Structure 1
Amino acid sequence: MEQEKTELKRSLSGLHLWGLAVGLVISGEYFGWSYGWASAGTLGFLLTTVFVAVMYTTFIFSFTELTTAIPHAGGPFAYSYRAYGPFGGFVAGFATLIEFVFAPPAIALTIGAYINFQFPALEVKTVAVGAYLVFMALNIAGVTIAATFELFITLLAIFELLVFMGVVAPGFSWSNFAANGWAGSATFTPAAWSGIIAAVPFAIWFFLAIEGAAMAAEEVKNPTKVVPQAYIAGILTLVVLAFGVMIFAGGSGDWSLLAKTDKPLPEAMKMVVGQSSGWLHMLIWIGLFGLIASFHGIIMGYSRQIFAMSRAGYLPSFFAIVHPKLKTPVWAILAGGVIGIAAIYSDTLIQIGGITLTSNIVTMSVFGAIVLYIVSMLSLFKLRKSEPNLLRPFKAPFYPFFPAVALVLAVLSMLTMIYYNQIVFGMFVVLFVISLGFYFVTKKKRLTQTDLLLKPV
């Protein structure tokens, strides 16, 4: 099969990009977040989620300025490169890869858990690997096909979340939601702050990866107009869904039973309608679309990041090869899949301190995301000073307040995550050091390449 290095094709509409922005994240409404209840309780986690929602809303309104000013497949990698040069690009690129390469195995494991819920004979990890094979193939088939499929399943996933809220609403009770809602206590005590802070990574999971839509900027028609519309509509959609799902699930019964499961929504619905209800089985099957939307979208995101970093000389050059007919970065798609499948089977490395494998993969992905958010906001401030005349089709509202709020909250999130997840953070640092070695080894090669990212757009 003949392959060549070339540019990506602009073929995506604004609706495609909205579907991608929401689809990248929407699995976070289906699982992952409920682990936050284990430490914070329902009321404590509600506070954590408000904190994180403010961070994401101010971040997205600020991040959109960078996306429209520098529409590049590298996304945050390109913005930080532009602001701080090659090392800044490396830090942002590494963080983005950690976020987008480690999120899919967590989602794949949950897809496996959902299928196993219906067919216990099917082993969770086997299903997870099968999901990788199917959706890597779909991403290789073509970006328009992939994005149209993403939009379709995202709409189904949103519909299913609304159905979930409607079905459990008759069984909702605020007394259920608030029972021992302060880190296992009926009343707030200073000790509850510890659980509230420890739950930050699981509230982030509600919104994690929305910034990945920026990596499709080179494939969007009229990105300066479309990107702001898609991002703003996307974050508003996700905020409404996140709070709705969390509150309705918590009020359905004994929320403590949902705090350590990969499938909180089916378990919550079972409390209201029973094990044999047709609604429950519908949620299992249609609910898979939410997981698939994020899984499929993040594969698209990580492949564009690997492609962009390879094109800039930060990764082996063959990852930047684009199929001459399909116009997709085949090797970049496959590379992220190999790492993800390895993570699925790395129980001894990732299952730490009795905490579930999925929970630790989520935490590792969130570490990458928070570093990415910090570097992106610093890049915005730097570019405002170093390139005041850069064309900015969309400017962050309430500058410098919005990006400053996003930056401060991201730094606070990072500090708390390090304190409560020291072993996973240690693994994050080890991966960074290994990547840093490759960065210095390839430095001379990069110096021979045209520095496109530092030129005005």
Structure 2
Amino acid sequence: MTQKKSEFNKVLNAWDILVIAFGAMIGWGWVVSTGGWIEKGGVIGAALGFVIGGIMIFFVGLTYAELTAAMPQCGGEHVFSYRAMGATGSFICTWMIVLGYVSVACFEACAFPTIITYLWPGFLKGYMYTVAGFDIYASWLITAIVIAFLIMLINIIGAKTAAILQTVLTCIIGGAGILLIVASVINGTVDNLDGQIFAGTTAGVNIKAIIGVAAMSPFYFIGFDVIPQAAEEINVPPKKIGNILILSVVLAVIFYAFVIIAVGFVMNPGDIIASQEATGLVTADAMAAAFNTKIMAKVIIVGGMCGIVTSWNSFLLGGSRAMYSMAESYMIPKFFAKLHPKHKTPVNALILIGILTMLAPFAGRKMLVWISDAGNFGCCFAYCMVALSFMILRKKEPDMSRPYKVPCYKFFGTMAVIMSGFMVAMYCIPGSGGNLILQEWLMVLGWSALGVVFYVVCKVKYKESFGTLVEIISDEDAATLMPEADEEELDKVIDAAIDRVLMQKSDLIGGTV
């Protein structure tokens, strides 16, 4: 383990990290999937499902909160798992989280121009080819590439610039959601809940439906873990970082649950079925119904578009920092540990992920859905390793400074391991409703094989340096270890020390000692 002062600029305040995490969790799903959630669990049933799913994520979030506050260092999962499991465990954990971040960023590059087709039906021009049943148009492709380049550029310019963008877009998302919720209260009616409060007519069926929604809901909360990735750039006391991380999860749960209820207040079961069959944008149609004008549907779609960019922006930030931390430990080529000389951002990692997001649209949306699902599996796998790291470090390093300390750690840690393990199992068990298909497993295996190649090559190339954890020390610690002194004074001290050594040597030779 080596030590150094952080090279990142501490530019992110409490609000910045809150909107980065919240914006990562609130993407496009609340616009396109609400109707499916209601059909699956009923209005109240689906809302309860998301609350239960949020509690599942809350347990995992608590472990992240404690570990992030204890080790506020770029890389998050990389550092946690290294301290608990060593270099190999850290490599596996970080490699899987990188898969999650990069894959979601690539998916968003396809999702953004797809939304434009809802706002502008004549947008698709210049048919080029078809991939897995998805038609690729020149206008669609060009838009995706341009937006991907701009988001990459914003992140290279600096984390603060990315945070400002995140703030603006998150406020738009929140504003659109609040408009829908308020309008549903004013213009909606409880009568619309008749026949769709729950999915079934018996307690057994209802409980099963709620559990079904709860089982898939955690995948919509992926993104809170971006906060630990940018820990070195956060200018907030460590304990407060932990509190903000938990707050972001709570806000996401409230947002999803309220949107579901709002849609149920505005649309009856027949309206929701009709909307599902027509556009699939049930939330947008609910907004139009609440305000009695189709123009307001576009407000929700714009909010969803902003959600895509916030998720994209957050995962680009998180993925680049995860790659940087691996390169700092010589687990992947050191090339990716380069920081921009002016903006202090991991420029090479950002350029690589940016290029991948610009190439991704060429593969079509269907293939990107597959890689996104594979990436979500990677995130959940990393969550499980972090939860295990939390338990291991409580035993291994009980005296570690923990500014944010989780009470009853055995209970919360065990629950975090069980919940994250359950999420991983959902991807693995056939018929679970969230299991990966063959193409997605091939992507996971392909990414794992690439990881093995990096592991072996870098271990051979960097030898003893492979897996070295670079521990960041604070300015106060640095001052203690190396107090500031005048250069002339240091020279005098060094000269005096040399003179003493030479005098002792001459005395020994002359036999005077």
- Which TM-score tier does this pair reach, normalised by the shorter chain? 0.7 to 0.9
AA of the residue aligned to 1:61: L
Preserved contact between residue 32 and residue 283 of structure 2 (Cα < 8 Å): no
AA of the residue aligned to 1:151: T
Preserved contact between residue 13 and residue 235 of structure 2 (Cα < 8 Å): yes
Please give the alpha-carbon distance, in whole angstroms, between the structure 1 residues aligned to 2:319 and 2:123. 28
SS at match of 2:407: coil
The equivalences for 1:107-122 within 5 A come to 107-122=108-123
Partner of 1:3: none
Please give the alpha-carbon distance, in whole angstroms, between the structure 2 residues aligned to 1:370 and 1:256. 32
Describe the shift of the 1:441–1:256 C-alpha distance in structure 2 as closer, same or farther (beyond 3 A): farther
**Residue 446 of structure 1, CA deviation:** 4.3
**Residue 70 of structure 1, CA deviation:** 1.3
Deviations 1:338-362 (A, max 9, x none): 33344433349x55xxxxx54x454
Partner of 2:144: 128
SS at match of 2:408: coil
**1:289 corresponds to 2:306:** yes
**1:417 corresponds to 2:427:** yes
**Residue 91 of structure 1, CA deviation:** 1.4
**Residue 382 of structure 1, CA deviation:** 0.8
**1:390 corresponds to 2:389:** no
AA of the residue aligned to 1:267: D
**Residue 408 of structure 1, CA deviation:** 0.7
AA of the residue aligned to 1:432: S
SS at match of 1:442: helix
Query: Relative to structure 2, which stretch is displaced further, 63-72 or 361-370?
Result: 361-370
Describe the shift of the 1:275–1:345 C-alpha distance in structure 2 as closer, same or farther (beyond 3 A): farther
Please give the alpha-carbon distance, in whole angstroms, between the structure 1 residues aligned to 2:206 and 2:314. 39
**Residue 156 of structure 1, CA deviation:** 2.9
Please give the alpha-carbon distance, in whole angstroms, between the structure 1 residues aligned to 2:17 and 2:172. 16
Please give the alpha-carbon distance, in whole angstroms, between the structure 1 residues aligned to 2:99 and 2:39. 25
Partner of 1:158: 174
Describe the shift of the 1:259–1:301 C-alpha distance in structure 2 as closer, same or farther (beyond 3 A): farther
Q: Which runs of 5+ in 2 are unaligned?
A: 1-5, 125-139, 474-513
**1:442 corresponds to 2:458:** yes
Deviations 1:35-84 (A, max 9, x none): 85388343554454233111111221221111111112111122111211
SS at match of 2:97: helix
Describe the shift of the 1:37–1:30 C-alpha distance in structure 2 as closer, same or farther (beyond 3 A): closer
Please give the alpha-carbon distance, in whole angstroms, between the structure 2 residues aligned to 1:163 and 1:16. 23
**1:431 corresponds to 2:409:** no
2:337 is matched with which residue: 294, 310, 320?
320
Please give the alpha-carbon distance, in whole angstroms, between the structure 2 residues aligned to 1:375 and 1:36. 31
1:221 is matched with which residue: 235, 239, 246?
235
Partner of 1:200: 215
Q: Percent identity?
A: 25
Describe the shift of the 1:157–1:374 C-alpha distance in structure 2 as closer, same or farther (beyond 3 A): same
Partner of 1:244: 258
The equivalences for 1:270-419 within 5 A come to 270-274=288-292, 276-277=294-295, 279-347=296-364, 350-351=366-367, 358=369, 360-419=370-429
AA of the residue aligned to 1:121: G
**Residue 256 of structure 1, CA deviation:** 3.9
SS at match of 2:455: helix
**Residue 444 of structure 1, CA deviation:** 2.7
Please give the alpha-carbon distance, in whole angstroms, between the structure 2 residues aligned to 1:92 and 1:32. 31
Deviations 1:17-36 (A, max 9, x none): 11212122222563465485
**Residue 292 of structure 1, CA deviation:** 2.2
AA of the residue aligned to 1:136: M
The equivalences for 1:134-173 within 5 A come to 134-173=150-189
Partner of 1:354: none
AA of the residue aligned to 1:103: V
SS at match of 1:269: helix
SS at match of 1:97: helix
**1:67 corresponds to 2:57:** no
Please give the alpha-carbon distance, in whole angstroms, between the structure 1 residues aligned to 2:79 and 2:241. 16
**Residue 172 of structure 1, CA deviation:** 3.7
Describe the shift of the 1:132–1:454 C-alpha distance in structure 2 as closer, same or farther (beyond 3 A): closer
**1:268 corresponds to 2:269:** no
Preserved contact between residue 104 and residue 299 of structure 1 (Cα < 8 Å): yes
Describe the shift of the 1:418–1:450 C-alpha distance in structure 2 as closer, same or farther (beyond 3 A): closer
Please give the alpha-carbon distance, in whole angstroms, between the structure 2 residues aligned to 1:292 and 1:132. 10
SS at match of 1:40: helix
Partner of 2:225: 211
Preserved contact between residue 100 and residue 375 of structure 2 (Cα < 8 Å): yes
Please give the alpha-carbon distance, in whole angstroms, between the structure 2 residues aligned to 1:303 and 1:178. 48
Describe the shift of the 1:386–1:33 C-alpha distance in structure 2 as closer, same or farther (beyond 3 A): farther
Please give the alpha-carbon distance, in whole angstroms, between the structure 1 residues aligned to 2:373 and 2:420. 15
Please give the alpha-carbon distance, in whole angstroms, between the structure 1 residues aligned to 2:91 and 2:274. 42
**Residue 133 of structure 1, CA deviation:** 1.4
Partner of 2:8: 8
Describe the shift of the 1:429–1:258 C-alpha distance in structure 2 as closer, same or farther (beyond 3 A): farther
AA of the residue aligned to 2:324: F
Please give the alpha-carbon distance, in whole angstroms, between the structure 2 residues aligned to 1:218 and 1:28. 29
The equivalences for 1:17-96 within 5 A come to 17-27=17-27, 30-31=30-31, 33-34=33-34, 37=37, 40-42=40-42, 45-96=46-97
Deviations 1:298-319 (A, max 9, x none): 2111111122112222222222
Please give the alpha-carbon distance, in whole angstroms, between the structure 1 residues aligned to 2:205 and 2:294. 43
Describe the shift of the 1:182–1:347 C-alpha distance in structure 2 as closer, same or farther (beyond 3 A): farther
Deviations 1:223-266 (A, max 9, x none): 41331232132222212111111222244323345668774432
User: Is the radius of gyration larger for structure 1 or structure 2?
Assistant: 2
Describe the shift of the 1:150–1:251 C-alpha distance in structure 2 as closer, same or farther (beyond 3 A): same
Q: Which runs of 5+ in 1 are unaligned?
A: 1-5, 352-356
Deviations 1:139-185 (A, max 9, x none): 111222222232232233222211121223345455645646766x5
